[in-house]
Chains A and B, each alone.
Chain A
Amino acid sequence: MHQFILRRMIQMVFVLILFSVIVFTVLRLVPGDSATAQLGLEAGDQAYTELRAEMGLDQPIFIQYLSWASNVSQGDFGVSWFSQKPVISLIKKRIPASIWLTLSALTIALIISIPVGIISGIKPNSWIAHIATFFSLTGLALPSFWMGLMLILTFSVFNRWLPPSGYVSPFIDPIMGFKHLILPSLTLGIEIAAPLTRFIRSGMLDVMNSEYIRTARAKGLTEYLVISQHALRNAMLSVVTILGVFIGYLLGGSIITESVFNYPGIGTLLLQAIHQRDYGVIQGIILFISLIFMFINLMVDISYAILDPRIRYE
């Protein structure tokens, strides 16, 4: 197991390097750069050329990459061209907000999807299953920005119960912090609950038809034990995989939902940086997001071994 983890870590380094090359190159091939973002419309060609030189953007891409990569390898991710703040500190500042949103959205998603998914998996033709299918299809079809806006209208404009946007750290002000989290996490939670329910349902359906469930029933176990000990654990294997993807998605910032709620997470930071072509910040965030995904994938692989003792990484 240790060897497996070590091997994966080494692989991660190579993937990161390859990934950073791709991101770096693609970013610079997209028209528009930090100079256009700073100068706007009225400055003209000369200013544009001068500023590009000042930013080092007139250098060949591979030279730009090498200087960036050598800084990064020494732990220096550079500064944002516009705010002159270190990229690391910008990301660090957004992480708590993203973690809170991830945890609360995930909680909502799991609270909805686990019971509904299990019940509709066990009893695929019951009315609960039909209602669940209806709602999860609706959830899949609803665009999150629309749902976000409807929630804002209902809970912040027509009834002033909840703040329409922003973030307050729950450590500083638990009540306000909680209130700020409700709407965005509800939007994201419902968005994720829909596919998650369907995954759990189909996982359960598969498992319930398998022979070891029949065996378990045949040896006289109660239905509760059959489901909780035999079925659920096996069904969870595929769910854990998809859950990993969702956690990565949430931590890496769900750009649309964060923008609708003006939520200062990683997603809005990335969006702003893309608009301004703030290369250092974009590259920093993308490396951060890919690290998260790789780490979560590793966790998912490890959890396989725990969920299913037959899986061994040797």
Chain B
Amino acid sequence: MLKHKKIFILNLYIIFYFTLIPIGFAKSQMKIGLSADVVMLDPQLAQSGPDWTPQSLIWNRLVEYDNTMMDPIPSIAKSWEVSKDGKVWSFKIRKGITFHSGRELTSSDIVFSFKRGFEIGPKGRFAGYMVSVDSYKALSTYEFQVTLKHVDVTFLGNLAAPAAAIVDKDTIDKIRTEPIGSGPYEFVEWSPGEKTVYRKFNNYWDKKMLSKIPDEIVVIPILEDQTRLANLQSGNVDIIDGVEAVFWAQIQNDPNTTLWGQELTASYKAVIFNFEKPPFKGNKLLRQAIAHAINKEAIHQTVFFGTGEVGCNLIPKSHWAYTEIACYDYNPEKAKELLKRSGYDTSRPIYFPTSSRPAYMRTAEVVQANLKDIGLKTDIEPQEWSYYVQETWIKRKFEMQVAWYAREIDPDGLFSSVLRKEQGNNPMRYYNPAIETLFDGGKSVYDREIRKKYYEAIMNTAILDEMPIIKIQTIERKWASNKKIKDFNILPKGLPNYYNFKWGG
């Protein structure tokens, strides 16, 4: 009897396995291990890097980024025309795009999304990207028009920004819990701290893309760098973000893994000064002394393991807008001389708060040692992230600090929010009316050779003379995957291009 029972159970197991395994295999699933969890599902309110995944997967925009972020590709907008004066943009909306709810997306949804984006204002990023918009309207069900206050060459590219997502007006009340969009993936669930699940939307308009992507994407937040890598190496996840430079060689040498990098990066690390109060307010020589004192090469080797590109130029070398500028070299003797001339009382330490995150701390420590060499004392104060954001960044309680910028790739996007008046990336509160005019000029012409001149002029004043910011080097962001991922592109922003990857699992 007992024997029969055992055989019966064994049979059950066999039946169970053979019926379930094929079902399991039929559905392809890509697992992504990310260094942070989603913060905010509403794409128009979202501000942080990890929110990029839901923003990209669930929603479409009028246009999407290409790999370089310089030539937007058609998405909801099938095509567009610009008036001769460059101010009126007319978009033709692709017919037959549906939201995950099944309702067709029309120009009224675009009007709704624009209106909502402007209403949200500075709490989201949309209004900031759309500063040059004067008015917008639906011309018909499938036509949408935007009128600009003045020519803005960054306008089209900004329409691809995550915050420019076209949202579903019918389900807007549930956008933070059960979001509905028109993107390639439907939202399934978000278990905070555990996983976010997306399912391929089979009615998605771009059938070519549908054939290249997995049926399901599961994003697992794995905060620990080592654990995340171990998850990739053990086959628990297919791809991970935020791979530290120490591990790059190891991943490249492993036949089972691939390292994915960027062609161009818009992230950079810098030291910035507070222009609102002494000692840096009105003391250009002191800032210039520090520029000569910082050993960027040492930071390059010890903090970034020789990756990235050292230099003070805010535009990376391979960028079309790059021009050679005469950066300050590492010259402690000259630094000492400038320091002497600046008249700064060296017995008083400079207040130097920094985020306690390792890449900030290590940079700050090298800078501290460099400044000590020329006789300048600094008080480094490591701060937990939220503390740092509130006290040092928003309330601007600092004299100097280490900053990490992850920007857009258009030269305007790269540093206008850093150097323009009262922008979010300008806690220095640097302001120069001449620079404002140059930025406006740089945005108003399409000719790249002319634009280049504007940005060169900005750099000559702001970076080589007044120096609210000393750029140390660019930061390369890398992802690592197993061989199931055949093609993967990381945008200059450091985030993946979910509209251009190939899954072979």
Contacts and interface: CB of A to CB of B under 8 A. Distances in A.
Interface of A: 30-33, 36-48, 50-51, 80, 82-85, 90, 93, 149, 152-153, 156-157, 160, 163-166, 259-262, 264, 268-269, 272, 275-277
Nearest 10 pairs of A and B residues by beta carbon: A32-B386, A42-B424, A47-B122, A164-B230, A156-B234, A36-B389, A40-B47, A31-B387, A83-B192, A44-B424
B305 to A, nearest CB: 20
Contacts, number: 131
A157 B192 contact: no
B390 A164 contact: no
13 contacts: A31-B390, A32-B389, A33-B386, A33-B390, A36-B390, A38-B40, A50-B121, A82-B40, A83-B192, A152-B226, A164-B236, A259-B224, A262-B227
B223 interface: yes
Given A31-B386, A31-B390, A38 B234 contact: no
B394 A44 contact: yes
A50 B122 CA distance: 9
A168 to B, nearest CB: 11
Contact of A48 (B190, B192, B385, B394): B394
B423 interface: yes
A174 to B, nearest CB: 12
Sort chain B's interface into a size bin. Answer: 35 or more
Contacts of A41: 389, 393, 424-425
A264 B37 CA distance: 13
A17 to B, nearest CB: 27
Contacts of B425: 41-42
B166 to A, nearest CB: 22
B274 to A, nearest CB: 15
Nearest to B226: A149
B125 interface: yes
A262 to B, nearest CB: 5
A264 B424 contact: no
B227 to A, nearest CB: 5
Contacts of B233: 156-157
Nearest to B127: A47
A225 to B, nearest CB: 39
B230 A153 contact: yes
Interface of B: 37-40, 45, 47-48, 121-123, 125, 128, 176-177, 190-194, 220-224, 226-227, 230-231, 233-236, 384-391, 393-394, 417, 422-425
A211 to B, nearest CB: 53
Contacts of A272: 37, 192-193
Contacts of A269: 192-193
A22 to B, nearest CB: 20
A251 B234 CA distance: 28
A45 to B, nearest CB: 6
B403 to A, nearest CB: 9
B122 A44 contact: yes
A33 B394 CA distance: 12
B189 to A, nearest CB: 11
A51 to B, nearest CB: 6
A107 B389 CA distance: 43
B194 A264 contact: yes
Contacts of A261: 227
A260 B122 contact: no
Contacts of B388: 32
A277 B39 CA distance: 12
Contacts of B177: 83-85
Contact of B385 (A42, A93, A275): A275
B391 A31 contact: yes
A260 B227 contact: yes
Nearest to A31: B387
A36 B39 contact: no
Given A32-B387, A36-B394, A84-B176, A42 B417 contact: yes
Contacts of B222: 165, 262
Contact of A44 (B191, B223, B422): B422
Contacts of B394: 36, 44-45, 48
Given A40-B389, A152-B230, A264-B191, 5 more contacts: A32-B391, A160-B235, A262-B227, A262-B231, A264-B194
B227 A152 contact: yes
A275 B134 CA distance: 39
B183 to A, nearest CB: 20
